[in-house]
Amino acid sequence: MNCNSLSLLNFIYYFKLSLGIMMTIIPVIVIELIFIRVIRNKIKNRKVNTDFIIKQIKTVFYTIVIFFLAYSLNMVVNTPNSVCSMYARKDIINEYKRLQESVNKSDISEDTMIKYMENVLNNDKKDVKVVKLDNKKDDFLKENSTKTLNSVYVKNGVFYYKGYVAGVYNTYSGTNCPSNPLKEGYNNKFGYNNFFYNRLTTFIDEASKNGYKITMSEQGCRSYQTQVNYYRTMTPGRAAPPGWSLHGLGIASDLEFYGSNGYPCPYGRTDKSCPSMGWAHQNASRFGLTFPLLNASYKEDWHIEPISKQKY
């Protein structure tokens, strides 16, 4: 069942809360009421009132039935991997609401919200770390430039790039990479789009402040021919078709994540075994960045690009 549903998580949360009340509070209240009734009855009537006793026994019986019914339902609901029960927690629901508000305000895309929630939900069920993101919408809205760098311009924080047209070579990514970026208006020697590079460096600097080492690829703008070579030599489906890759537009990067020993985390790593990567995946959206290939058939936990992109 899909956990990416606020109404589903809310329903399960309050259903579990109701079951908890039925198993704990109601029995306690019933026991106290019966105790009070017995005391009052004993004061009023010195003799044993059979009808009264039978009535109290029935009350206890119904309470026990309700308890075991609630207990059984609770066991079913909390069965591992059932109806997202383990995720129906107030902290996750609040995080979901906050992300939904960000989507409504156009701070982030709905696709990014879903991917982020999947990342949260896939953490350890007993210790889900919900990262509180900073709202940097105002900062991103200031990103505006009519100047085109490698067929990309930025307006209100959205990266606009020329769409691929079959047979039209100048629409292919990687065909306009700068030969000398610093002399051609780029703020970096690699050929990354200026605004994308700013986000990356801010992101990496923040990681460093938190004790994590992350580096970006020096291949800021991947040439068309390089993409052709990747496409021909790599496993089918692993590399984007030549002309399609965002690397060829300077708005994508492959990151390297390092462990506490100072060496790159090996392949087969996880967010837990490689904390620098875990930090990156959880905090990228704070900087207008996303890892869109985390759940792809060929998982790429290192590929990063801007959240907001649009063809023109």
| pLDDT of residue 108 exceeding 60 | no
**In angstroms, rounded to a whole number, what is the distance separating the alpha carbons of residues 59 and 88?**
33
Q: Kindly report the CA angle at 249 between 248 and 253, in degrees rounded to 5?
A: 75
Residues in the chain: 312
Q: What is the mean pLDDT of the chain?
A: 82
Per-residue model confidence as pLDDT tens digits over 57-76? 888 888 888 888 888 888 77
Per-residue pLDDT, averaged over 152-169, amounts to 88
1 against 210, higher pLDDT: 210
Report the DSSP pairing between strands 253-254 and 309-311: unpaired
- What pLDDT does 252 receive? 96
| pLDDT tens per residue, range 71-91 | 888 877 766 545 466 567 776
Say how far apart CA 16 and CA 36 lie, in whole Å: 30
Residue 130 has pLDDT above 50, yes or no: no
Query: pLDDT of 267-296, one tens digit each?
Result: 889 999 999 999 999 999 889 999 998 887
Rg of the Cα trace of the chain?
Answer: 29
Going from N- to C-terminal start, the domains of the chain cover: 6-85, 137-311
Instruction: Report yes or no: 280 and 207 within 8 Å, Cβ to Cβ.
Output: yes
Task: Give me the percent of the chain exceeding a pLDDT of 70.
Answer: 80
For residues 136 and 145, what is the distance between their CA atoms, to the nearest angstrom?
18
CATH of the domain spanning 137-311: 3.30.1380.10
